[in-house]
């Protein structure tokens, strides 16, 4: 499945290199603040806006922007109705133009794998007294400051960001 990705190796390599600092930033801010900054979302869009012009035919480049609009609208509906994080949805929308439609399923499979790993690691980390002592201001660890309802929240940007980087890595070596 991952050997037959629709993204070209050149696109994956260039997009992967240019977006890696943003994905690291997304992980850091989501772990420490449970927020994906709007500036990170705009940075992802800027990478696609500039690099995409040089890496794909103009017609394909234009159609890829529709991916952004569709995922943004669906994301806001999910955020408003089912409680998905708005930052997560905006980040997913910003990533959408990078992904050809044919790669949606492999990308979704990667996201599921990283989400399961995230849940296992983070539920374990919440039980770590050493982590609580070492990072007392991390919001997702701080049950007392935010009430019991906050206790079950998980920073899914930590699953989204490596999903994107891994997708680009797999596309580059395919």
Quote the pTM value.
0.87
pLDDT grade for 144, boundaries at 50, 70 and 90: low
Domain locations along the chain: 2-169
Choice among 54-68, 71-85, 86-100 with the minimum mean pLDDT: 71-85
pLDDT of residue 132: 67
Distance of CA 144 to the CA centre of its chain: 28
Q: Which residue has the higher pLDDT, 1 or 59?
A: 59
Distance of CA 87 to the CA centre of its chain: 9
pLDDT of residue 129: 73
pLDDT of residue 59: 96
């Amino acid at each position: 499945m991952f050997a037959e990705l629709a993204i070209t190796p050149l696109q994956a390599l260039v997009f992967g290199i240019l977006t890696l600092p943003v994905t690291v930033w997304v992980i850091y801010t989501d772990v420490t603040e449970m927020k994906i900054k709007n500036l990170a979302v705009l940075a992802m869009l800027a990478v696609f806006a500039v690099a995409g012009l040089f890496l794909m035919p103009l017609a394909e480049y234009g159609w890829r922007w529709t991916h952004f609009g569709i995922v943004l609208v669906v994301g806001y509906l999910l955020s408003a109705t089912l409680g998905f994080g708005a930052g997560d949805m905006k980040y997913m929308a910003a990533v959408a133009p990078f992904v050809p439609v044919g790669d949606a399923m492999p990308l979704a499979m990667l996201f599921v794998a990283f989400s399961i790993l995230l849940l296992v690691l983070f539920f374990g980390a919440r039980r770590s007294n050493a982590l609580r002592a070492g990072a007392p201001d991390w919001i997702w660890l701080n049950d007392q400051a935010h009430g019991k309802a906050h206790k079950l929240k998980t920073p899914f940007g930590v699953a989204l960001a490596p999903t994107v980087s891994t997708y680009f890595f797999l596309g580059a070596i395919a």
